[in-house]
Amino acid sequence: MTSPKTQIVIVGGGAAGLELAAKLGRRYGRKHHDIILVDRNRTHIWKPLLHEVATGSLDANMDEVGYRSHCHRWGYRYFFGKLAGIDRAARQVRLAAVLDEHGREVVAPHSIRYDYLVLAFGSVTNDFGTPGVAENCFVLDSRAQADRFRDQLLNQCLRVSRTMSVDPASDARVRVTLVGGGATGVELAAELFNAADALGYYGLETFDRSRLDVTLVEAGPRILPALPERLAAAAAGELTALGVSVRTATPITASTREGMVTKAGELIPADLQVWAAGVKATPVRDGLDGLETSRTGQVVVLPTLQSASDNRIFAIGDCAFCLLPGQERPVPPRAQAAHQMADACFDNLNRLMAGRVARAFTYKDHGSLVSLSRFSTVGTLMGNLVGGRMAVEGRLARVIYLSLYRMHLIAIHGWLRGAAMIAVGHVNRIVRPPLKLH
C-alpha cells in the first residue's frame, strides 16, 4: 500500500502564492507531492499593473497568466474557488460554492485536506467604513474592477467629446477624484493623462488632456509617505505640471453621487471616484478557526512565517502580519515583500518536510519606486542594505521599476520562458495600440 502524497494547499494566486506554487511544482512535481493552488479568479495579473489596466494603457489579455495552463506546465493543481473557512482539527480548507452570473451553482461547496497550508489570499482596499464609498467609488483590487473603471472612464470621455462636437464653447470636462496619496493613487493620476493624450488617435479628435480634471486627495501632510520628502515633493511637482490638483491634509468624510465630501464640509465634484486610501486583508466568510489576526485581518505570523497559532499554517504576502525582531513596524504589503516571503516559505517547507527546523525570514528593503507613467519615475534604492537610501529619478528609475515586473515573470515562468515573455512584451509595446478601448 502506497503512502498518501504530502499535500500542500496554497490559498491565493497573487504574486506570493503563484510564485510559491511554481517553485514547489518545479521542485517536487506530482509523484510524491500534491501541490494545490486555490484562487477565486481564473487568471493572474500582477497587482501593481492594475492602474495601467484601469486606464487602458495595458491590455491585460496580453499580460495575464491562466492558472490552468500554468499549473499543467509547472506540476501543481489549480482549484477555482474562494476560501470560506478552515478546519484546523481536521486539517481542511473549506471552499464556498462557485456560482455563475445567473446564480446557478457551478461547483458545490467542498473541502480540501492539507498537510501544510499557505495563506496568500492578499488584501483589498480599506474604506475605513467611510459613508458612501462602497456605493460610489471604484477600487482597484482586481482586473474586473480595473476593467469596469476603464469602461466608465471611456464612456465619460465620449460624452464630453460628443458634447464639444455639438457645442464647441461647452466647458464639459471629465472630473476624476482619487483618494489616497500612496503609490496607487499617484500612479493612476499620472496614467490618466497618458490615456487622455492617446484618445485623440481613436476618434475623439475634440478631446485632449485639457478636458481632464484630476484631483488627488490625501489626508496626511504629503503624498508618498514611504519616500523621502524631497522625492515626494518632486512627484507632487510632476503631477501639478501635468494638471493634477494635489490636495494634502484633506480628510474625506463621505462619498456621494456628486463627489467627495471633505472634513471641512466642502464637496469636490467628480464624475468618477476612486478610493485607494489603505488596505486590509481579504475577509474570509467563516473566519480562520481561531488563527491570531491583526486589527486589519492579517494573519499574525512568527519570524518563520508560520502562524503564531498553528505551525502547519503559513501566511505570506499582504495577508501576513509579520513583525520581525527589533523592528517597530511589520513587513509592508509590497510586491518585493511578497516575492521574498515566497522564497522564504519555499525554503521552510522544504526544511520541515526534511525534518529540519524552519529558519527566520529576513526582509531586505530594496527601496520604493513610483511610476508617473511615461512622464517620470521617482524612488529610492537599497533601503536598509546600505544603511540608507539612494534617491533615483528619471530614466534610470523607470528602468529599475520595469525590472521589478520582469523579476516576477522569471519567478513564475522560469528564466527561458520569462525572458521570451519579456522580449514579446517589448515587441507588443511597438506593434499593438497604445490604448485598449474594448
Q: Could you give phi then psi for residue 126, rounded to 5 degrees?
A: -100, 115
- Express each pLDDT in 111-137 by its tens digit: 999 999 999 999 999 999 999 999 999
Q: Report the pLDDT averaged over residues 18-39.
A: 94
Rounded Cα distance, 309 and 152, in Å: 44
Q: Are 49 and 14 in contact (CB under 8 A)?
A: no
Q: Is the pLDDT of residue 305 over 90?
A: yes
Instruction: Give the model's pLDDT for residue 281.
Output: 93
Rounded Cα distance, 380 and 226, in Å: 10
Instruction: Give the model's pLDDT for residue 346.
Output: 98
Helix axes 394-413, 415-431, angle to 10 degrees: 130
Which amino acid, one-letter code, is at 233?
A: A
User: Could you give the percent of the chain with pLDDT greater than 70?
Assistant: 86
Q: Are 36 and 9 in contact (CB under 8 A)?
A: yes
- Express each pLDDT in 84-116 by its tens digit: 999 999 999 999 999 888 989 988 999 999 999
Q: Could you give phi then psi for residue 393, rounded to 5 degrees?
A: -145, 165
Q: Report the pLDDT averaged over residues 391-399.
A: 55
The 10 Å Cβ neighbour count of residue 227 is: 24
- Express each pLDDT in 353-368 by its tens digit: 999 999 999 998 876 6
Chain-wide mean pLDDT for the chain? 87
Q: Alpha helix locations (H) across 100-259?
A: 133-136, 143-166, 183-199, 229-242
- Residue 280's nearest CA partner among 81, 183, 139, 178 is 139
**74 alpha-carbon distance from chain centroid:** 23
Q: Report the pLDDT averaged over residues 320-336.
A: 93
CB-based contacts of 222, cutoff 8 Å, min separation 6: 181, 229, 232, 233, 236, 248
Higher pLDDT, 170 or 179: 179
Q: Which three cell numbers stand for residue 126?
A: 480599506
Q: Is the pLDDT of residue 384 over 50?
A: no
DSSP 8-state assignment for residue 249: S
Of 74-78, 121-125, 158-162, 203-207, the one with minimum mean pLDDT is 203-207
Write down the pTM of the prediction.
Answer: 0.88
User: Could you give the percent of the chain with pLDDT greater than 90?
Assistant: 58
Helix axes 394-413, 15-28, angle to 10 degrees: 40
- Between CA 209 and CA 214, with CA 210 as vertex, the angle to 5 degrees is 75
Q: What structural domains and CATH numbers belong to the chain? A: 6-125+279-353 (3.50.50.60), 133-275 (3.50.50.60), 367-431 (no CATH)
Q: Which three cell numbers stand for residue 149?
A: 473603471
Residue 83, SS3 per DSSP: strand
- Express each pLDDT in 225-269 by its tens digit: 877 788 888 889 889 998 999 999 999 999 999 999 999 999 999
Q: Are 81 and 106 in contact (CB under 8 A)?
A: no
Strands 43-44 and 65-66: antiparallel
